[in-house]
Each structure stands twice: as C-alpha cells, then as structure tokens.
Amino acid sequence: MEISTLATYHCLAFVWFFFVAYSITNVKTAERPSEVFLYGGQWKYLTVLNLVLQAVFYGVSFLADVLRLIKKLRCAKCIISSRDLLFSVLAFPVSTFVCISFWTLYTYNRELVYPKSLDGVIPLWLNHAMHTAVLPFALLEILALPHRYPAKKKGLILLGFVAFLYISWVLWIYSVTGEWVYPLFALFSPPGLAAFFAGSLAIIVSFYNFGEFLNRMIWGQSKFSP
C-alpha cells in the first residue's frame, strides 16, 4: 500500500477511535444504571482502555507515515519501532481478546458482561464500535503493511506485565468497593478466579501468537517497512 494511502487510512482510524472513546467516556453519570458503579469510571473496563490504546496506536502510525512522506527517515525509524511494538504486543491481541471474549460471554449470558439495562444508555452502534469493529480494524492493519515483531520472550513479558497491571487494577477496585468490575467474576471462588485469570492470559497469548503467524504468513520473514 502506498504511504499516502496508509497515512489517510491511519488518520481516519485515529479519528474513529478517538471519536468512539470520546463517546463512551462522555456517557452522563446520571444515565448509568445503578450496577455500573462510579469508582474508576469507565477506566475500569478493558473495552474502554482498548479504545484508548487503538487511538494511540493509530496516532503513532499516522505520525510514522507523515515522517516517511516528508523523508524524515531517521525520526520515522524510531516511531515505526514504537508502532510495531504497540501493534504486536498490545493492539492486535487485546482487540482480538475484547471482541471474541465479549461476544462469547454475551451469547452465553449477557448479564455476566453487559447487563440489559445498558441498552438504554449505550446505543447499539456504540456497542458494536467498541466490541465488534475493533477486530476487523486489527486484521486490516495486518493486511495493510508488515510489522516487525519483537523477540518472543520480550513480547510475552511485556504482554504479561500489562495483563498483570490490569488484573491488579480490577482487584484493587474490588478491595475498595466490594463489587467486581464484571458480574462474571462474582461467580468464582478465589482459586477459580485465579484459574480464570490464568486462562484469560493464556488466550490472549494465543492471540499474540496468532497475530505473529498471520504477519509472517502474509509478509514473510524479511519484508518490513523501512
């Protein structure tokens, strides 16, 4: 794909995710159902954090494209490295996890992750923007250009560290409020919850590996952006 086309795409994707993140973070507090407790605001939800992550990723990608267009290759090289690290370690696996885990649990019992009372607060288009569209964007990014993946050990350590931070945030919220971020967690005993978190980490690691596999299958080992 031509750099100018990539720049246009990344700019539009950045604007889209910024708009979606802005839309969900500006849902009026008074309109939220009682079970959506206030502590931590929307920043306790992985879905919302992922929207911010995607906006940052596409913003960095757009900056890299602009630097390449104006021939600032030395600066572009550093930005491209950051872009590829963001995509490989976080943007692709987290988006895939959010989409697949949400709709799997929603289909099984939506009250565990997205109570019906939210239908009157969050429009249908915004629900799909948060939980559905993120996966096609991630797949399109792999098709659009190659990304250099870090060494497997480094990538998995970074991914595991971010997962640990989020789990710690979830547990902290529970320790303060006595309520779980997602009703699903209340179903587990402490050992069961630990097993659930471990299983979720294993799933997101598999999505990391899947992204690396797709990138290699489409682009081979050696074709990477300058």
pTM (global) more than 0.85: yes
Task: Using the predicted structure, report yes or no on whether residue 93 has a pLDDT greater than 90.
Answer: yes
Query: CA distances (Å), 36 to each of 30, 33, 116, 177, in order?
Result: 11, 6, 12, 12
The domains of the chain are located at 3-26+38-219
Instruction: Tell me: pLDDT of 75 over 90.
Output: no
Examine the pLDDT at 225 and tell me if it is beyond 50: no
Average pLDDT over residues 52-66: 95
- pLDDT interval class at 2 (50, 70, 90): confident
pLDDT greater than 60 at residue 85: yes
Buried b or exposed e, range 48-67, using 16+ CB within 10 angstroms:
bbbbbbbbbbbbbbbbbbbb
Q: Would the pLDDT of 221 be above 70?
A: no
pLDDT digits (tens, 9 = 90+) for 162-190: 999 999 999 999 998 888 988 899 999 99
What value does the mean pLDDT take over residues 27-33? 55
- Helix residue ranges per DSSP H, 38-189: 46-69, 73-86, 92-109, 124-131, 134-144, 152-177
Task: Tell me the C-alpha distance between 185 and 65, whole Å.
Answer: 42
Answer whether 212's CB lies under 8 Å from 149's CB. yes
Does residue 119 have a pLDDT over 90? no
